Structure 1
Amino acid sequence: MKYIFILFIAFISTYCYAQKSGDYWNNRLQIVSFRLPPPPIGYQPKLKDINGDGKPDVIYSITRDSIPVMWIDDDGDMTWDDFEGDTKNDCLLIDRNRDGIYGGQGDLIIDWVDTDGDGKADMQFVIEYPKVCTGEVWPNGHYMIVLDLDHDNIFNYIDWNTMQLKSWDKVGVCDFYTDYSGHTAFLKIHASTYNMEDLRLNWENPFLFYDKDGDNLSEMAIRILDSTKHVDSKLPANSFVNQQVNGVVDWVSIAVDMDNDNGPGNEFDFDMTIGFQGEGFNYMDQVHKINNLRGLAETDTFFMDARWRQLDELIYPDHENAWDLIFKRGEWNRVNFVWDEDGDCKRWERVEFYEPLDPFKTGWKGGGVDNHKQSDASGDRGEWDMDNSGRGKLYVSKFDGRIHLYGAEWGCWRIDQNAEYYQGWDRLWFGLDKNPNRFATVKYTDTDNNGFFDLIEYDMDGDKHFETIIDLRKIGVNDCCELIDISSFAYKDFVDLMQTVSDNMWNNALKALKVAEKNDINTTWYAKLKQVLSTQEKYQKGYWLQYYLYKDLEYQFSRSQDEKALKNLSKAYYSGDWDSMLR
């Protein structure tokens, strides 16, 4: 009884303390902060009628740690009993630095917009200003607009414990809190609105996500950039004049989940990215009207830069028009291609591109193919058409049965067979950067400039020297292949292509098994590679099973000094014609 009494007293003390403190319960706890903490119990917000119609238009209140906040009513439904605004058509200003200016330097603004009047927000504007105005444009602030096109009411993610925009926070490997999944889009620039000349435009303008099978996940993503233009060499590169977008897209990436194997716990699984650079295309005719963004004109004085609140249109290529604008209007002078061969990329953006640099150097800004900080240190295959001679077409090669970029001068596959490196979405964040000291490399070169790779070099022991060089012409293999024009592709065409490639890869592996067994190779060593459960496994294991059996056969024929068999083997393997050794 005494023990129960002590527990009761402890409970009452804790309860009384909580009531006394009055703070909202989810305040700096070690769990996710999904919402703005409302004011403490007992705090009385101040409501004000701005336009003299007898109804409140503004709420002055506080959130955690007495940070001042302001709610502006943009749809006329605020009442005198409200202690916070709504998240369907109101605007929230957070005075993070407590300087008494709600929409100024160092502050955060979130504006929800119900464009169709159905009582749910369809757009969300997030404006984040840096602590001080440095005079440099980039990267100082955020101007980001999320379009909720699939009406799931998911927008951007704010960490309310820090009052910061954190669009990259996630559950598990790639279930992001920000709405990158499904049929959705956003527009964004890492700059403050006052450093932008035309707020109808943006830098990532837009980022489009496509849900092609209706599972609320993204099977494709198209990133469209209106790069800032340096127009005055006499002024600093990061000045206002030299950091403006101008309505011309000059960089595009198209990421595709080729086998449509995303799902819960594997929300993003893009396999391939193809990208275009050049003069691009003008998109100023891609106008989208905005309804209901404009609030009370009298509230403009609360904002350091109220121009974005006065917009009645945004200009950007949308889901329906982006593809044709890229392939029909775009003028490109370079094409980039990357394939996630080790299957460990979980980026919401794309499989990050490799760069046409040193095959053996590693690390961010290290001068190697993984020079980009968001690329895989090892495991991807990059190819580059530096003059757009191939016009973005693809082909399935005979020598490895894989999809390659037509017109590429060269390419590089940095092998990470067990996906030991990267395994996520950004290797430099959260201290996850890990670069391999030794890795296998395969280099591809088009030596005769016909658009197809004909020289394959292997450094399989990782000593940074190519110990095996295969010239397809010398072994009698024609490098020319049927071209694949993706300019008219729908998503299903990509999936069908991947299915065909994987099926052919696996069928060739089964034939290689027959050739090996015919020549008394013990294939039980490779039992693990013989079991496939998916399209991706047919692709991955089919390639490796062929490679191991090819090398075992090569070893056996070398032991017996059978030069004819060696010659036939090389031609069979690099032409994908194992049947020639079964006749």
Structure 2
Amino acid sequence: MKQVSYLLLFPLILSGNIFGAEAVSKQQLFERVFGTAVQLDPAQHAAVAQDEHGKRHYVDQDNDGIPEEVWFIDLDSRHLEDMRPVLVRVLDEDGDLRMGEEPDLDSDLYVADWKADGTVDAVTDYTDTDGDQDVDEMGIYFIGWTKDKITCWWGEDTGDDNLLWHDVGYTYRQRDCQSRSHFGGVETFCAYILGLDDPEWHPGWENPFVFYDLDNDGVTEEVVRIEGQGDVIQNLRYSFDADNDATPGAPRDFDVSLSAHAPEGTLLPAELGDKRTLRGIPAGAFMAFKEVQQYSMTFPWATYQLTWDENDLNIDGEGFEGLAFKDPQERWEGIITQKNEFFKQIGGPSCGLVNKRNEVDLESDTPIRVYYADTDQRVHLFGANHAWLLVDYNFDREPDMRYDYHDSDGDGYLDRWTLDLNVDGKPDEEWYGEIKANRDIPYTYAALNEIMQPLLETLPSELFQLSSRLRQALNASGMPDKNPIEALLETGFDLPQLPVDLRLRLLNSNESWRYYLDLLKDSLTASLRAQHGASDFWNVFDPLRASGDITGMREAVEEEFGLKDALPDFALVRKVITARYDRPRVAWAQNWVPPNIGWESEQAAYRCYWGLFDFFGKKKDVLIYPLFKAGEDYHKEQEWGIDALNVDDTCGLGGITLYVNGKAYPVYSPEGKGSIVWSKGVLKEAKDTVSIEVTAEKVGPEAAPYTVRFHCSALGNRKDSPIQVTVEGGAPDDTLEVGIGMRKLSQESFAMDEAAGILANWGIQDPTIGWIGLGVVYPKSLALRTEDLPDHHQVVLKAERGKPLTYHIQGTWLKGRRFDRCPTLSNWMGDLKETASVAGL
């Protein structure tokens, strides 16, 4: 975000001042864009506001039995209290709304009236531009920067992964929405404003913001923001996940940015522009997605600042509560450098002043140029006039150390490093680099990743072993006291201002280990130099340091001090330190309401009663069964989530039918009725896995009944549950089959992938719960046929007496998905295909 966006817009959004204030022309501005769609009929409005909240009111203007719109008071928990009640008018713009069904998130228009006071406050517009029934563009409209203009945040799902922005009250508020807005994969967005008499939308600030997924893993490795007003280009921020350690579960992990200011009067070349139309009104151009990378890299920007996130915590470095970070989530915007005496800040919130390496070129007027230096195994900005790193290793908001980098001969390459160990302004350690140790590289993801990913896989171990030898040398030289960095690492960052999540992020990051071990290596080297003045040793050690030969430096210390004992195993030490934060990642419980038994990971919870299978949707990774109380109703949304499936009298998610010689015998007993005898209990429980057993006796023919055993498991960090079924007893000549069922939803899309062994649906039963997905992953080699039954879908598998058969069940709850706008059945099938791959079925 541009600084004015954050400093001016977002605090007002957060406080509600902009949205609470009534602009004289607010209704006119909305009507300028949406016409009669935002004219709320008073009689209809009153009927909805005075009726039961949550009840759907359908409007069928032409009496053809197909509604054009639906009105309701939206009870979704995402909406803020200062907005409630939120009255919504939804206009179906693609003709697929039906009586009794829910509007969708592809081509529908949501008009929101906060407080149900008769005035429109926000509009969210979902657009399917290619007719494939998923969202391609999304616009969030509100009265924002100025009261006399309407603002649109417009986004395009350029990569077609169906994921865009979260909203509250059908608008965007940074604090409440940024974590759950996708801002990733391959996307484009731009900000616009429009006055009542303006002929076109005026682009500004995010002009555009673009995200690139270069390895097709669904996660952004490269993000670029060009800021401007109209056709004027003002600045650039260009960031990479250089070591490619972001994952679908933790999709934001940017390491470096190059920020740049454009020369005065820089204009967007017309041939590079992309002009869109928003609700029939033309918009001014922003730089086209396909042009951004080339232009950014080849344009001669006036000034540059390279910022490298050395400790691998790219979080808000400005907001604190005491010593604790107020907002510890990884930033989505890239690396936002904090203003300093040399460079004006671009956007906010910044990454802060400490533990980030900054290099500034004040008089560039050339395209981006960077290089890799073997001396410190880092990428640097060519031509940097000022370069420094302020260290706060213990997060007490007080600088502990400072590095300065110098280009002594003015050739554009750094050649001298100084280290101030106590920030008194006097260097305590100095060393030099070699000219041959510098290598120019392009500022591209491919070039950075080619260096950083393999480097960070080996360098922490090399640094750890060097630091261990330096510690031994200091002990031998009469300095046995531990360096504070040593002590901090041994405690696993046990600091009261760091929550466990942040400690684990540091401990699990190769980049943060490299940073801290570099700090330790340089500190110990300075201490050894002060204590051990043998010039012959330093004449060997220092040239090795200049060339970045970590192994050579270690061997020089070993030779000097006669160190021949075995080197410590960094991986083992790291594992032991990290293990102090181990916790149970699975749980089970039973009989909170008899005859329930449940099993869960932090990501997903399942339960079974009388052979009917159910799941709980979660809003966050948490174990819920230890919190359950006897008799409590979880069909109402809780802080952690909700009972997400109404099983009723069906098999639910993964209940089975036993076929004996072709005759069906359901292995579930709605309301406990029938002849089947049920028992249950826990089989085994460990930190990362738990298994329970449910046994059904007297299943099938009375003359030769069967016993069916279910072994149901939860696995740490997994969303699926393996179900192992064993059929025992019966007549020896019987032909056996097992039908795995998945209940139908009242409004659903269904898919079956025989090649992958997947049965899936996506839909809704109850607006209170919202959209859910159900999935069964089965061994495709055993599949015989499918059955389309009145209340459930079923796949029938070959079964053998006494031979375990394993399938997996998985459920998802849209409100619990981090990125809830706007996945579809195709996204859900992608999740299940990943499960099938992991399960190896």
TM-score (norm 2): 0.48
Report the equivalent of 2:442: 486
Cα distance 1:485–1:39, how it changes in 2: closer, same or farther (>3 A)?
farther
Q: Which amino acid aligns with 2:59?
A: L
1:454-491 alpha-carbon deviations (Å, 9 max, x no partner): 4434332134x23436374xxxx54575342325x3x3
Aligned length: 461
The SS at the match of 1:266 is coil
- Counterpart Cα distance in 1 of 2:184 and 2:347: 28
Report the equivalent of 1:495: 449
- Counterpart Cα distance in 2 of 1:153 and 1:505: 39
Q: Which amino acid aligns with 1:87?
A: L
Cα distance 1:388–1:568, how it changes in 2: closer, same or farther (>3 A)?
same
Shift of 1:372: 6.2
Report the equivalent of 1:155: 164
Shift of 1:115: 0.1
- Counterpart Cα distance in 2 of 1:123 and 1:42: 27
CA contact (8 A) 2:191 2:207 kept: yes
Counterpart among 214, 217, 220 of residue 218 in structure 1: 220
Instruction: Say which is worse superposed, 373-382 or 92-101, in terms of deviation.
Output: 92-101
- Counterpart Cα distance in 2 of 1:42 and 1:517: 67
- The aligned runs of 1:391-406 (5 Å cut-off) are 391-406=367-382
- Counterpart Cα distance in 2 of 1:494 and 1:437: 31
Shift of 1:555: 2.8
Counterpart among 133, 137, 144 of residue 153 in structure 2: 144
Report the equivalent of 1:450: 411
CA contact (8 A) 2:59 2:67 kept: yes
CA contact (8 A) 2:200 2:282 kept: no
Shift of 1:570: 4.1
Q: Which amino acid aligns with 2:245?
A: D
Is 2:58 aligned against 1:74?
A: no
Shift of 1:410: 0.8
The SS at the match of 2:511 is helix
Shift of 1:415: 0.8
Report the equivalent of 2:291: 321
Report the equivalent of 2:59: 47
The SS at the match of 1:95 is strand
Q: Which amino acid aligns with 1:176?
A: S
- Counterpart Cα distance in 2 of 1:276 and 1:310: 35
Cα distance 1:456–1:356, how it changes in 2: closer, same or farther (>3 A)?
farther
Counterpart among 470, 491, 501 of residue 430 in structure 2: 470
CA contact (8 A) 2:72 2:88 kept: yes
Is 2:518 aligned against 1:546?
A: no
- Counterpart Cα distance in 1 of 2:50 and 2:108: 16
Report the equivalent of 1:251: 235
Shift of 1:148: 2.0
Cα distance 1:510–1:60, how it changes in 2: closer, same or farther (>3 A)?
closer
Structure 1, unmatched stretches of 5+, are 1-36, 227-244, 294-307, 359-366, 422-435
Shift of 1:323: 1.0
CA contact (8 A) 2:360 2:381 kept: yes
Shift of 1:549: 4.3
- Counterpart Cα distance in 1 of 2:187 and 2:422: 45
Shift of 1:311: 3.9
CA contact (8 A) 2:357 2:389 kept: yes
- Counterpart Cα distance in 2 of 1:370 and 1:468: 34
- The aligned runs of 1:235-314 (5 Å cut-off) are 245-263=229-247, 266-279=250-263, 282-286=268-272, 308-311=278-281
Structure 2, unmatched stretches of 5+, are 1-48, 76-83, 315-329, 493-506, 560-841
Shift of 1:288: 5.1
CA contact (8 A) 1:251 1:277 kept: yes
Q: Which amino acid aligns with 1:547?
A: D
TM-score (norm 1): 0.66
CA contact (8 A) 1:338 1:354 kept: no
- The aligned runs of 1:54-453 (5 Å cut-off) are 57-59=68-70, 61-63=72-74, 67-78=86-97, 81=99, 85-96=103-114, 98=116, 100-102=118-120, 107-130=121-144, 134=147, 142-160=151-169, 164-169=171-176, 176-188=179-191, 194=196, 198-199=200-201, 201-226=203-228, 245-263=229-247, 266-279=250-263, 282-286=268-272, 308-311=278-281, 315-328=285-298, 330-345=299-314, 346-357=330-341, 373-388=349-364, 391-418=367-394, 420=395, 436-453=397-414
Larger gyration radius, structure 1 or structure 2 = 2
- Counterpart Cα distance in 2 of 1:385 and 1:284: 29
- Counterpart Cα distance in 1 of 2:374 and 2:309: 20
Shift of 1:78: 4.7
- The aligned runs of 1:570-581 (5 Å cut-off) are 570-577=542-549, 579=552
The SS at the match of 1:384 is strand
Shift of 1:405: 0.9
Shift of 1:557: 2.1
1:178-218 alpha-carbon deviations (Å, 9 max, x no partner): 111322232225x5665976427343122222223333222
- Counterpart Cα distance in 2 of 1:371 and 1:101: 33
- Counterpart Cα distance in 1 of 2:132 and 2:374: 55
Task: Return the structure number with greater strand share.
Answer: 2
1:141-199 alpha-carbon deviations (Å, 9 max, x no partner): 64111222343433221224xx64234447xxxx921111322232225x566597642
- Counterpart Cα distance in 1 of 2:345 and 2:281: 42
Shift of 1:319: 4.2
1:549-581 alpha-carbon deviations (Å, 9 max, x no partner): 4224313323xxx34544554444344356488
Shift of 1:353: 1.1
Q: Which amino acid aligns with 1:118?
A: D
The SS at the match of 2:224 is strand
- Counterpart Cα distance in 2 of 1:571 and 1:390: 33
